[in-house]
């Protein structure tokens, strides 16, 4: 199966094939600030399965060993990479053309969630 997505302005497009490693909601403070949202949902994909088109994403080292990619035109966050998780790219599920095609499996960094943000009942137990 091929999944495709793009940034807000459409300048940068991406696609990936196959089944993701995982799909999770992240509640960490860093991701909340990077996306200006209460949480974000990531799709973890092997680097070799991701194809980019358009201009290269801009990059920002948000913390030691962490790189976040974004569109230099519209500012849409595009990916997260962590040196502790080599070989995988975490794409933002909301950028997919059909974000409903993938179902989140659970929550990450639940201990950092905003107090009013409650986990969804149909996901596995949280882990940090």
What is the pLDDT tens value at each position of the chain, 128 positions in all? 899 999 999 999 999 999 999 999 999 888 899 898 989 999 999 999 999 999 999 999 999 999 999 999 999 999 999 999 999 999 999 999 999 999 998 888 888 888 888 766 555 544 44
Q: How many other C-beta atoms are found inside a 10 Å radius of the C-beta of residue 45?
A: 24
In a domain, 77, yes or no: yes
DSSP assignment letter at 96 = B
Distance CA 25, CA 119 (A): 9
**The overall pTM is greater than 0.85:** yes
In a domain, 126, yes or no: no
CATH assignment at residue 107: 2.170.150.70
> Domain tally for the chain?
1
In a domain, 79, yes or no: yes
- Residue 71's domain comprises 2-112
In a domain, 125, yes or no: no
The set of residues, in sequence order, having a beta carbon less than 8 Å from that of 4 and lying 6+ positions away, is 13, 14, 15, 96, 97
CA-based Rg of the chain, rounded to a whole angstrom? 14
Nearest residue to 113 (alpha-carbon basis) of 98, 123, 127: 127
In a domain, 75, yes or no: yes
In a domain, 42, yes or no: yes
In a domain, 87, yes or no: yes
């Amino acid at each position: 199966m091929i999944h495709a997505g793009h940034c807000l302005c459409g300048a940068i497009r991406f696609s990936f094939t196959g089944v993701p490693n995982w799909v999770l909601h992240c509640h960490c403070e860093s991701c909340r600030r990077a996306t200006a949202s209460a949480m974000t949902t990531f799709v973890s994909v092997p680097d070799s399965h991701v194809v980019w088109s358009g201009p290269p994403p801009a990059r920002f080292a948000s913390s030691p060993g962490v790189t976040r990619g974004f569109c230099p035109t519209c500012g849409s966050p595009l990916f997260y990479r962590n040196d502790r998780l080599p070989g995988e790219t975490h794409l933002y599920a909301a950028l997919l053309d059909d974000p409903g095609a993938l179902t989140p499996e659970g929550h990450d960094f639940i201990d950092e969630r905003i107090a009013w943000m409650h986990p969804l009942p149909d996901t596995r137990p949280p882990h940090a």
